[in-house]
Structure 1
Amino acid sequence: MTPVFLRWSLAFRAVLAAAAAALGAGAAHAGADAHAAASYAIRIPVTPAGDAPLQRIVLPAEVLVRLQSPGLADVRLFNGANQPVPMALTAVAAASAPEESVVLPAYPILGAKGSAGPAGLEGLSLRIEERHGQRVVQIDTPGAAGTTAGDQAAQPVQGALLDARSLQQPVVRMALDADLPTGQPVTFRVQASRDLKTWRPLAETVLYRADTGATPTAPARLGNEQIDLHRADLKDHYLRVTWGDAGVTLRGATLATARGPAARERIRASVAAVALNNPRELVLALPFATPVAALQITPQDSGGNVLIPVRVLGRNHREQPWSPLASAVVYKMVTGGTEQASGPVELGGASVRELKIEADAKTAGFAAAPAIALQFEPAQLVFLASGPGPFTLAAGLPGAQALTSAFLPLPSLVPGYQPGQENAFPLAQADVARADITAGPPPGGAVVPAAAGSGGLFTRSAVLWGVLLAGVLALAIMAWLLLRQTRHAGAQASAAPHDAP
């Protein structure tokens, strides 16, 4: 082997070693130890809530903007011995819906004289009349046309009507304002109707009033006085409450209406200011894989009122085409001295590495870079406080796409688990101010770094292509040198004198 060939052979081996190192960079990231807290991008001290064995902790924004797995697989909770503790991932319960109380008066329903029970109510003819500002409900039964005033006075009250037509919100429950007979269980049946003819059942309850004179220690009333109506929609409906011949006096009912299910408060993270190179297009690179629930876009134009229709698109790498995620109109207006701004653009939990905001081509676009904030659905860990303290919440692991989740099913972690039970566990606190950061923004800010979207190849792809091109060039030079050396040796052999035989 000639010295020249030896030198180029060594050079080619160096190129191959560089290529192997570049290709193995990702493998090195993927090989990060998921069982060591030091391998994670952020480590946050956790203060347990007392000595309860089962606790929960809500993941802060500083954790969500560093996760590299869409399924949050790269989050762990370590004890003082650097051991991961058993945990489960669950959503955060929504706050209780605000309620309002509505009091409805009762209009008595008179049964036929001598009627036996509520069955006599079926087929009755009801008439509601307005007299001098008061509403009168009259019930007619077969053969009752000639009923005298004395007979009417003897008619038992077997039920009452409630006018719920004006209710706009669903009804959660109802409480009756009623006087009960002593020592007699009374069954109340609640029904609804639009036309006072066809009734559908809603609920039923049994109440009992004890004789406190005979049994002073007995409770005054037994039974569930709060009748659950399961968020029934009673707009344009009447309610009928019946109890047969039990001798009940019903003055009215109090209905609790809900304004609708309360939305869970989302976790928010701001995006640092981004340079605007194109007024109709803004591309952002996201350094995390956490699903994004919504995107808040607030125009920053100082010229007054702004209204811009936009499209939001996403992708995970440059080789992918852009996929539409949402369309909306973002605006900022001043009306009567009050500034109004558009709400968040819902993305439906998209997990993408790049976002593009496109302004409608029929508009002038953004005169200045808008303020952008990300919103995430809240998530919490339910964990067993096992092992010695202190506890550390760790998140963000390179190569987490292939990482196996460490979450247990809630029924496996919580003995005798009941749905929603996790929200009653004590709430541990993450001390973000004392977080130990390996990569990403400083703790306590929850600000996503402003990074423009990739305008060309990713850095790793560029390195790989460079190494491969260098290897091809080295091979070409080696082939050329070998060919040149072979030709030179052949020329020397042809010019050498031949010995006579």
Structure 2
Amino acid sequence: MSQKLNLFWLGAVAMGMALTAVAQEKPVDFATQVPLSVSGEGPWYRLELPLAVQLNARQSDLGDVRVFNAAGDQQAYALARQTAQTDDNRTLTDVKWFPLYNSADATEHTPSVRVQSSANGTLVEVQPSSQLEAGEEELRGWLLDASGIKAPLQQLILDWTSERDGFQRFTIEASDDLQHWQSWGEGQVARLTFADEQVEQHEVGLPGQSARYLRLLWEAPQSAPILTSAQLQSASPRNLPLPLVWSQALAGSSAKAGEYIWQLPMGLNVERVRVELEQPNSLAPVTLSGRRDSSLPWQTLSSGLLYRLTQNGQDVVQNELQLSGQIVQQLKLTVDERGGGLGAQAPTLKFAVRATQLVFLARGPGPYTLALGNSTVKAANLPLSTLIPDYSAGKLTTLGRASVDGGVVITSTAATVPVAMGTDWKKFGLWAVLLLSVLFLAAMAFSLLRKPPVKP
């Protein structure tokens, strides 16, 4: 009996070894293979996964992503990605604002000021550098005191008195000493009345950098409104969101007037969409809905006012909508036709998701290949802290870099279409071992069951 049990376990071990060998993944098991080039110091390399490459995956969580070396050996890897935007680490702070005056006929756009601050850098008073007579001063902008915020600034939120409606465009500059200023681009806010409803835009995106002071100078119109509130949203440096990556333009369809539908390549955590407004003087209040499958009901994701208007010879454009980051595969835009609509043909749409970084531990000979496109394999990625024993957020930026070689995606048919080449004798032999092991176990079980019990 003991000998038979030993044979039984030997057969089980043989079957397990055969199953392991059969399950060993190779590059040809994946529909898409992308050559990689590496630079910098290894053995760890960090790859920014292009969205065009990600869309070749068969699993929305990228569980079918792999990295192989030149010998076809799988490399250990980890994924740094965010499935949805979270605001848990974001802080909204009310800040003080100080007016920036200049004479109405001044040729220079930037007002000259005298500043008084406390020992910790908090602004106490801001005055024009020269005395302006009553009636000649003009409010050109505002100086915001962000000295109490140590985290990178993500968003600016403004509110102003009701006397100033319409669009307002201004420049944004940042400084730590009130002497040297760095441009942070332009901002745009608006308050409009449309079809007896008020549509407002208060938020302006910031580049995610730290600064003690912000200077806002109005361009159109040149005089600034009276602010009633100024807030800055910041995020911890340890938890800064990965940047957004945008898709190529996606064509849509329109089944009825004022309704447009787009089909995404796969279910994705979409955080922003951009509707291409080709016609000048377009104005459209819209509602954006989404769903994961055509059998599910539509869910409202966002709403807002899209426009492309000409003011003072320049186009003023607002064509983006913010989403929460939930997974969708279909998007529907419903337009209030009272604004003139967006035309019979569906406009093209671009969507943005959070960037995904892949870090792999290079082992064996290069070059290395990124493979993806297999709906049946299980995820094989490790936590970053396991892949890199002394991992820290700061160390991630010091790793060697990997990139898609030449930006070319090579799609293999081996994962979907049987390859009519020579017989794979190695795989044939492994399957033979597996079948023999199963037959052996069945015979052993049958023999044990037929043996009469031993009489005491």
Correspondence 1:48-59 to 2 at 5 A: 48-50=38-40, 52-59=42-49
Partner in structure 2 of residue 336 of structure 1: 312
- Residues 145-177 of structure 1: CA deviation (Å, up to 9, x unaligned): xxxxxxxxxxxxxx9686623562433899xxx
Closer, same or farther in 2 for the Cα pair 1:266/1:299, shift >3 Å? same
Closer, same or farther in 2 for the Cα pair 1:136/1:274, shift >3 Å? closer
Partner in structure 1 of residue 195 of structure 2: none
8 Å CA contact 1:298–1:332 kept in 2: the answer is no
Aligned residues: 265
- Residues 432-479 of structure 1: CA deviation (Å, up to 9, x unaligned): 53321258xxxxxxxxxxxxxxxxxxxxxxxxxxxxxxxxxxxxxxxx
- Is 1:279 matched up with 2:257? yes
Closer, same or farther in 2 for the Cα pair 1:416/1:352, shift >3 Å? same
Letter in 2 for 1:38: V
Distance, in Å, in 2 between the alignment partners of 1:356 and 1:170 is 39
Partner in structure 2 of residue 374 of structure 1: 351
Correspondence 1:300-319 to 2 at 5 A: 300-301=278-279, 304-319=280-295
Partner in structure 2 of residue 164 of structure 1: 123
- The structural deviation recorded for 1:232 is 10
Closer, same or farther in 2 for the Cα pair 1:292/1:84, shift >3 Å? farther
Distance, in Å, in 2 between the alignment partners of 1:295 and 1:423 is 29
Distance, in Å, in 2 between the alignment partners of 1:317 and 1:300 is 29
8 Å CA contact 1:268–1:376 kept in 2: the answer is yes
Larger Rg: 1
Determine helix, strand or coil for the equivalent of 1:171: coil
Superposition TM-score, scaled by structure 2 size: 0.51
8 Å CA contact 1:37–1:394 kept in 2: the answer is yes
Determine helix, strand or coil for the equivalent of 1:353: strand
Pick aligned residue for 1:64 from 51, 54, 58: 54
8 Å CA contact 1:298–1:342 kept in 2: the answer is no
Determine helix, strand or coil for the equivalent of 2:407: helix
Greater strand share, structure number: 2
- The structural deviation recorded for 1:58 is 0.3
Seq. identity, %: 27
Determine helix, strand or coil for the equivalent of 1:348: coil
Letter in 2 for 1:330: L
Partner in structure 2 of residue 45 of structure 1: 35
Letter in 2 for 1:339: D
Pick aligned residue for 1:433 from 400, 407, 426: 407
- The structural deviation recorded for 1:290 is 3.0
Determine helix, strand or coil for the equivalent of 1:365: coil
- Residues 325-371 of structure 1: CA deviation (Å, up to 9, x unaligned): 11122111111121122142122222222111111254443214212
Letter in 2 for 1:86: A
8 Å CA contact 1:295–1:372 kept in 2: the answer is yes
Distance, in Å, in 2 between the alignment partners of 1:41 and 1:329 is 41
Determine helix, strand or coil for the equivalent of 1:420: helix
Pick aligned residue for 1:383 from 332, 354, 360: 360
Distance, in Å, in 2 between the alignment partners of 1:431 and 1:312 is 37
What is the alpha-carbon root mean square deviation over aligned residues?
Answer: 3.8
Superposition TM-score, scaled by structure 1 size: 0.46
Determine helix, strand or coil for the equivalent of 1:352: strand
Partner in structure 1 of residue 299 of structure 2: 323
8 Å CA contact 2:250–2:262 kept in 1: the answer is no
- Residues 176-212 of structure 1: CA deviation (Å, up to 9, x unaligned): xxxxxxxxxxxxxxxxxxxxxxxxxxxxxxxxxxxxx
- Residues 67-126 of structure 1: CA deviation (Å, up to 9, x unaligned): 33332212211111222211111149xxxxxxxxxxxxxxxxxxxxxxxxxxxxxxxxxx
- Is 1:291 matched up with 2:265? no
Correspondence 1:49-198 to 2 at 5 A: 49-50=39-40, 52-91=42-81, 164-165=123-124, 168-171=144-147
8 Å CA contact 1:68–1:289 kept in 2: the answer is no
Letter in 2 for 1:305: N
Distance, in Å, in 1 between the alignment partners of 2:328 and 2:121 is 54
Letter in 1 for 2:270: V
Determine helix, strand or coil for the equivalent of 2:260: strand
8 Å CA contact 1:58–1:381 kept in 2: the answer is yes
Distance, in Å, in 2 between the alignment partners of 1:345 and 1:33 is 44
8 Å CA contact 1:171–1:232 kept in 2: the answer is yes
**Runs of 5+ consecutive residues of structure 1 not aligned to the other structure:** 1-31, 93-133, 138-158, 175-230, 236-257, 440-501
Closer, same or farther in 2 for the Cα pair 1:306/1:41, shift >3 Å? farther
8 Å CA contact 2:283–2:308 kept in 1: the answer is yes
- Residues 242-291 of structure 1: CA deviation (Å, up to 9, x unaligned): xxxxxxxxxxxxxxxx9966975421112343354433111122222232
Determine helix, strand or coil for the equivalent of 2:52: helix
Determine helix, strand or coil for the equivalent of 1:85: coil
Determine helix, strand or coil for the equivalent of 1:290: strand
Pick aligned residue for 1:405 from 379, 382, 385: 379
- Is 1:396 matched up with 2:386? no
